[in-house]
């Protein structure tokens, strides 16, 4: 299926990657390849090679490329690559470039030259078979030698994996991720891939069922095997979780799995429509890999008519949702409705309360008289003022209050608004490892009132942890806007809680007309919320229609680079709906990095997973890493890249984090971010990019959320249909959740251990 030999008209060339010229959002890569015909440092030619097969290649790698030559009218002769194979470097120049590239930790350019000068073409053979001879080279002692040999063994193992994966047409960049995972658990990576290919879906981030299935089928696993069918069912269920669902109906799960497995084999299609797939699901249930139950589902939105539906959850989601329902019911059962009179008197004596509306007063009183309450409302409706009053009243009453938000940005903003310390929810729940002087979780244990802002960002797992840690007798106030995008993680926690009549809530509806320039932003946010297109409102809300996506991307770069002198690039945040396609996240970050932080001789670089990380780059952490002590959503700047030490340093607004090169998967450029990633943050200037690329992602919640991220000015760059699609699409409100049902039925029992999957899946 995957041809490793040149076809008619093709040829193969060998060389070393000199440097990368371009990496596109579509993985199209252009690089310079050094050809060393004589195998020496002289008689060298360089050619330009291009193609998506080159994605993930790094400077210093030796490649064998298969393709055809072509003449470009502007760029001259180029080699169009169909197939890219990694090879071991041959010849003095190739070996020197390979060692100097940083591929082998502990060897930099100077040491690489010393080693090659000493051993010449025998260098790699010496490292492989007689490594002690390296001690003859000045600068290499026993400790450095041990590090070099460890890195050398790692590269050999990765190269072995690459060869195996290339034969299946799989990007070799995945070999590094596979090696890193299995080496941490003392497993042979190649053995694990061959013997248990479907575990890659769960073990290695970036590998889905399709890739694992290709490896499995190539290894001889039958298409109709129970192992394959069960892996497909679990992969379908896991994929639904990444899209926000806590469960799938049995019928939906079966249909989605059939589509995942469907191919041109008619026998396979007939086979999947029998009872065998259902049998595979039943086996998963008996083994504890899934939880199956029946729940009532509304026949129509807003109508109390239900029908019973069979659903399937993975145990992790079932435990989280059931535990959250259990904790909510526990708080509601202790609601003794503290008399409001004393708090009304305290509120009247609070300076902040002078101009509160009746809605706002009720929201404040709920926080002090009810164990659990919700304060919600859109922009300009006074949530901030109400929240300040709650904090001021708690402070004057001598209550111990804990303030939190789901992200670092949101927590910092909450702290600025209230003048009181605020932490991320993660920090409130967990003390920093190895540091008992700053145990933020003790704040939660002693709290009498807990306030969580931006509560619409709470996913079901984080909410379950939070509710489970609220001390007995403590009050919890959730503040958020249900019209924003739902949480990145699964669930619709805030929306589901508001659907439970027993939970007291205050919805702020009065819009306070603002005298400042931000009124056009607030007005347009509410226009979108009510299904109307935004309208230009100079000078704070500007709209720029464009015919094609490339024009949108060009305008973004032009807007950022031609900004006024008194506006820094860091004050501007570009927001877009999706990662892929032209004018998407990847494309915009590539363009903005080239414009704002181009390569220079004094700027170190590290190539990771097809992207170039450079000193001075703006970056964002996309997943909480407790080992490093950095939280999801933290933004910072790369301050140092040390190739010899294989580490990269980021300044997260005063917090310095050192990343080993093996931990860079979750570090992305942040010149542009998705709207989802921007939740809980506020920026002086926001450029919203709305291309017509992915209609399903263009929703009313997305546009509303993007607009409300701006504090001073919005630039909306769009294709016309994209705005209409976004305003009319309310599908992002729909997720498969059962929290409302579990609370309504009094789900007081914490999930039993019989729903716990085998240990290796936890």
Query: If you average pLDDT over each of 7-21, 365-379, 511-525, which comes out highest?
Result: 365-379
> DSSP secondary-structure letter at 338?
-
Average pLDDT over residues 469-488: 91
Q: How would you class 446 by CB atoms within 10 Å of its CB: exposed for 0-12, middle for 13-18, buried for 19 or more?
A: exposed
CA angle 509, 514, 517 (to 5 degrees): 135
Helix ranges restricted to H, 341-482: 341-348, 358-369, 383-396, 408-418, 425-429, 441-446, 460-469
Instruction: Please write the tens of the pLDDT for every residue from 381-390.
Output: 889 999 999 9
Bridge partners of residue 32, in order along the sequence: 19, 48
E-strand stretches of 136-290: 248-249
Instruction: Please write the tens of the pLDDT for every residue from 597-637.
Output: 999 988 999 888 888 999 999 999 988 787 888 877 888 99
Q: How would you class 184 by CB atoms within 10 Å of its CB: exposed for 0-12, middle for 13-18, buried for 19 or more?
A: exposed
Higher-confidence residue: 715 or 381? Answer: 715
Task: Average the pLDDT over each of 126-135, 165-174, 256-265, 291-300 and give the range with the smallest value.
Answer: 165-174
> DSSP secondary-structure letter at 354?
G
Alpha carbons 674 and 726: distance in angstroms, whole number: 15
Instruction: Please write the tens of the pLDDT for every residue from 205-250.
Output: 878 899 899 889 988 898 889 999 999 999 999 999 988 999 999 9
Cβ atoms of 114 and 107 within 8 Å: the answer is no
State whether residue 224 is helix, strand or coil: coil
pLDDT at 141 over 70: yes
Which residue reads 């050999």 in tokens?
156
Which residue reads 């950095």 in tokens?
630
The whole-chain average pLDDT of the chain stands at 85
pLDDT category of residue 653 using cuts at 50, 70 and 90:
confident
At residue 338, the pLDDT reads 63
Average pLDDT over residues 359-369: 92
Cβ atoms of 666 and 621 within 8 Å: the answer is yes
Radius of gyration of the chain (CA): 29
Average pLDDT over residues 292-316: 83
| Cα atoms in the Cβ-side hemisphere of radius 13 Å centred on 721 | 8
Q: How many residues are recorded in the chain?
A: 762
Percentage, residues of the chain above pLDDT 70:
90
Higher-confidence residue: 68 or 164? Answer: 68
560's enclosing H/E stretch is helix 549-561
In sequence order, what are the residues at sequence separation of 6 or more whose Cβ sits closer than 8 angstroms to the Cβ of residue 201? 207, 208, 209, 212, 231, 234, 235, 238
pLDDT category of residue 74 using cuts at 50, 70 and 90:
confident
Instruction: Please write the tens of the pLDDT for every residue from 164-199.
Output: 887 777 777 788 788 888 887 778 888 888 888 998
pLDDT category of residue 437 using cuts at 50, 70 and 90:
very low
23's enclosing H/E stretch is strand 11-23
Cβ atoms of 312 and 237 within 8 Å: the answer is yes
Cβ atoms of 383 and 359 within 8 Å: the answer is no
Average pLDDT over residues 139-154: 88
Cβ atoms of 443 and 437 within 8 Å: the answer is no
Among candidates 569, 558, 92, 492, which has minimal Cα distance to 317?
492
Record the tokens describing residue 326, joined without a space. Answer: 């259990």
At residue 747, the pLDDT reads 58
Cβ atoms of 81 and 28 within 8 Å: the answer is no
Which CA distances in Å does 186 have to 91, 183, 189, 349, 720?
Answer: 34, 5, 9, 64, 54
Task: Average the pLDDT over each of 302-311, 641-650, 685-694 and give the range with the smallest value.
Answer: 302-311
State whether residue 607 is helix, strand or coil: strand
In sequence order, what are the residues at sequence separation of 6 or more whose Cβ sits closer than 8 angstroms to the Cβ of residue 191? none
* 208, 211, 213, 216 alpha-carbon torsion, rounded to 10°: -120
Q: Give the other-Cβ count within 10 Å of 569's Cβ.
A: 16
Instruction: Please write the tens of the pLDDT for every residue from 527-536.
Output: 999 999 999 9
State whether residue 690 is helix, strand or coil: strand
112's enclosing H/E stretch is helix 109-119
Record the tokens describing residue 370, joined without a space. Answer: 């009810």
Q: What is the DSSP string of 504-546?
A: -EEEE------SSTTHHHHHHHHHHHTT-----BTTTEEEEE-
Which residue reads 């004018």 in tokens?
583
Among candidates 433, 427, 392, 400, which has minimal Cα distance to 412?
427
pLDDT at 700 over 60: yes
Q: How would you class 3 by CB atoms within 10 Å of its CB: exposed for 0-12, middle for 13-18, buried for 19 or more?
A: exposed
């Amino acid at each position: 299926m995957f041809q490793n030999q040149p076809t008619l008209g093709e040829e193969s060339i060998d060389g070393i990657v000199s440097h990368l010229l371009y990496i596109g959002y579509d993985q199209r890569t252009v690089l310079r390849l050094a050809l060393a015909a004589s195998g020496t440092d002289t008689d060298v030619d360089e050619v330009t090679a291009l193609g998506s097969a080159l994605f993930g290649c790094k400077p210093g790698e030796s490649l064998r490329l298969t393709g055809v030559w072509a003449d470009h009218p502007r760029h001259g002769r180029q080699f169009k690559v169909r197939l890219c194979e990694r090879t071991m470097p041959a010849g003095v120049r190739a070996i020197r470039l390979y060692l100097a590239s940083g591929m082998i930790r502990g060897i930099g350019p100077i040491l690489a030259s010393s080693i090659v000068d000493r051993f010449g073409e025998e260098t790699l053979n010496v490292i492989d078979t007689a490594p002690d001879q390296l001690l003859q080279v000045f600068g290499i002692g026993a400790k450095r030698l041990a590090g070099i040999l460890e890195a050398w063994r790692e590269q050999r193992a990765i190269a072995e994996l690459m060869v195996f994966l290339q034969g299946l047409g799989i990007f070799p960049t995945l070999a590094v991720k596979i090696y890193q995972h299995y080496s941490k658990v003392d497993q042979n990576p190649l053995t694990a891939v061959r013997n248990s290919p479907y575990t890659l879906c769960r073990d290695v981030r970036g590998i889905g069922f399709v890739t694992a299935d290709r490896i499995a089928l190539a290894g001889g696993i039958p298409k109709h095997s129970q192992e394959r069918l069960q892996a497909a069912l679990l992969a379908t269920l896991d994929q639904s979780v990444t899209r926000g669902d806590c469960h799938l109906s049995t019928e939906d799960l079966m249909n989605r799995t059939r589509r995942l497995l469907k191919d041109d084999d008619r026998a396979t299609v007939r086979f999947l429509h029998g009872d065998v797939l259902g049998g595979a699901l039943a086996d998963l249930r008996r083994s504890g890999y899934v939880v199956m139950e029946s729940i009532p589902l509304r026949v129509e939105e807003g109508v109390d008519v239900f029908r019973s539906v069979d659903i399937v959850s993975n145990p992790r989601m079932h435990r989280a949702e059931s535990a959250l329902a259990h904790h909510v019911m526990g708080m509601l059962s202790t609601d003794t409705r503290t008399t409001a009179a004393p708090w009304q008197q305290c509120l009247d004596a609070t300076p902040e309360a002078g101009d509160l509306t009746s809605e706002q007063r009720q929201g404040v009183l709920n926080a002090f008289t009810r164990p659990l309450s919700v304060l919600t409302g859109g922009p300009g409706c006074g949530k901030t003022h109400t929240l300040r009053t709650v904090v001021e009243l708690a402070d004057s009453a001598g209550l111990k209050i804990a303030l939190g938000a789901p992200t670092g940005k949101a927590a910092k903003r909450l702290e600025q608004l209230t003048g009181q310390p605020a932490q991320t929810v993660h920090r409130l729940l967990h003390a920093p490892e190895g540091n008992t002087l700053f145990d933020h979780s003790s704040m939660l244990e002693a709290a009498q009132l807990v306030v969580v802002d931006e509560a619409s960002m709470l996913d079901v797992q984080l909410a379950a942890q939070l509710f489970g840690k609220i001390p007995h007798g403590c009050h919890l106030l959730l503040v958020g806007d249900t019209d924003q995008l739902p949480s990145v993680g699964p669930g619709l926690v805030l929306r589901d809680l508001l659907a439970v009549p027993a939970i007291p809530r205050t919805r702020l509806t009065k819009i306070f007309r603002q005298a400042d320039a931000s009124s056009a932003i607030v007005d347009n946010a509410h226009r979108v919320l009510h299904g109307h297109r935004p309208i230009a409102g100079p000078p704070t809300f500007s709209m720029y229609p464009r015919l094609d996506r490339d024009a949108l991307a060009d305008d973004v770069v032009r807007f950022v680079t031609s900004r006024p002198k008194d506006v820094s690039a860091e004050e501007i945040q570009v927001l877009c709906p999706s990662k892929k396609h032209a004018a998407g996240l990847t494309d915009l970050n590539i363009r903005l990095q080239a414009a704002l932080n181009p390569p220079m001789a004094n700027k170190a670089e590290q190539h990771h997973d097809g992207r170039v990380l450079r000193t001075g780059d703006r970056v964002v952490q996309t997943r909480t890493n407790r080992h490093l002590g950095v939280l999801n959503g933290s933004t910072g700047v790369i301050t140092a890249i040390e190739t010899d030490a294989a580490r990269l340093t980021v300044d997260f607004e005063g917090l310095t984090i050192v990343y080993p090169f093996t931990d860079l998967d979750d570090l992305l450029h942040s010149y542009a971010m998705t709207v989802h990633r921007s939740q809980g943050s506020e920026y002086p200037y926001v450029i919203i990019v709305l291309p017509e690329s992915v209609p399903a992602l263009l929703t009313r919640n997305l546009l509303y959320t993007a607009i409300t991220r701006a504090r001073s000015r919005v630039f909306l760059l769009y294709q016309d249909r994209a705005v209409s699609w976004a305003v009319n699409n309310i599908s992002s409100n729909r997720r498969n959740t059962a929290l409302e049902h579990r609370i309504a039925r009094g789900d007081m029992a914490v999930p039993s251990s019989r729903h716990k999957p085998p240990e290796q899946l936890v």
